[in-house]
Each structure stands twice: as structure tokens, then as C-alpha cells.
Structure 1
Amino acid sequence: MVRTRFDEDIRPLTEFRSGAASFLKQIHETKRPLVLTQRGRGVAVLVDVRQYEAMQERLELLEDLYQADRQLQAGEGVDHKDAKARVLARLKK
């Protein structure tokens, strides 16, 4: 994801309401998220759909890695040679 430019990518919610189409175009073109504020506080972040999907995929991968690490720490892992032998045995069937 492209870094947020604080001078361009933080806007009041009221400004977004009046110019939503132009802000959506900006998000699509720059691939940068847009932070919406209300009374000076961040209330929402708008992200391009493809950027959001990529973030979700990365999060799922990180969660899988975290779970695998926990399993290895608990002794539930399989040795590489053993795993390779199991895969090759299944392929031969």
C-alpha cells in the first residue's frame, strides 16, 4: 500500500460528502487511503478495493504463519523429510 500523504489524504467528513466522486477518483488513481475526520478526529479510512483485497490476503497469510509457528512451538510440526516422503507417497498412488 502506498503511504498516506497527510497534506492530501486527510479530509473532513463534510468535505467528503460534498465531493465524494472526486475523492473516490483520487483514491483510485493514487492508490493511497483517504482518512476522514469528524470534529478533528479520524473516524474512517477509505481504501481502493484492490488495495483492500491485497491487505486481506496479506493478513490471511500472516495469520496462517502465526498459526503454523504456534503449532511448531507446541511440537505439532512435521519434519521436512517426513513431510516430503508423505507427499511423494500420495503422488505415487
Structure 2
Amino acid sequence: MKYVIIGKIGPRWGDDPARRVDQVHKKLDALKVKLETVYYTQGAYDFMEVVEAEPEAMLALSLWYKTKGYGELTSMPAFSMEEVTNALTT
């Protein structure tokens, strides 16, 4: 399933950003979460990602990210127009 993740970076992130990114990528690999795109943003959230993941993997990622003190994640299931159209016609 596809998810859109919006996130806020916590204070610990700034200690060593390159190392933190590496740790996150290793965790994504371990959880079999496929990162499709990432953008850093200005405003209420610091970044936005699109990933492909199982629901349990998304839960594990969110909990891990928070417990590491990296910040906050909000994940939302994402649907294609075809999926929405199919849901409306069933």
C-alpha cells in the first residue's frame, strides 16, 4: 500500500543529519519500506515522503522514529484515481 508521510524533525536530528538519514534508510530497508520520493518543505512540516509499505511496517516505522527522538511522523494511506473510482463503483 502507498502512504504519504509528513514529518517534523526533532532537535536530535540536527546533531548529525547525514548519520540520521543513513539510519532511517537502514530502517526502511529492514522493514521492507520502499521510499519512492522525499521532499523537504517549509511550513508546519519539515518533509514529505511517498512510500510503499505494509500497514504493520508503517506502524513500526512511526514508533521507531518517535522513540529515537528524531521527530514526529504522520502517515496517510494514498490511493490512485483508479482505486478511488473502483471504490465508488462497487
More helix by share: 1
TM-score for both structures, normalised by structure 1: 0.30
TM-score for both structures, normalised by structure 2: 0.30
| Structure of larger gyration radius | 1
More strand by share: 2
- Which structure has the higher relative contact order (CA within 8 Å, separation 6+)? 2
